[in-house]
Structure 1
Amino acid sequence: MLVNKAYKFRIYPNEEQKTLIAKTIGCSRFVFNHFLAQWNDIYKETGKPRCNRY
């Protein structure tokens, strides 16, 4: 029998932690958007998705 569980957590960061969280999320969003744009450029040029890792 498969049982799924979920937990919810609420955090109350102080001002310094709020700033650090915002910087971290902003940085990861920047990196994601950068590589998404790179992937879209390659797709437009070649017509097929391409990943350099494989």
Structure 2
Amino acid sequence: MRPTMQRPPKKFVPVPFAYHQEIEMTVDSLTNLGSGIGRIDGWVVFVPFSLPGEVVKAR
């Protein structure tokens, strides 16, 4: 058997962005309630009143 390489777990960052930091992202899809969904640095961001394909600035 080959030895399994285990990596140390990633540190969890509970707050990915500073308070009121403005981010720019592309909306990938919609939720079942109509909010836009995008991803930044592995975090999922929900933006209401947006459509897939839009580039939005969100806070």
Q: TM-score, normalised by structure 1?
A: 0.25
**Greater radius of gyration (CA):** 1
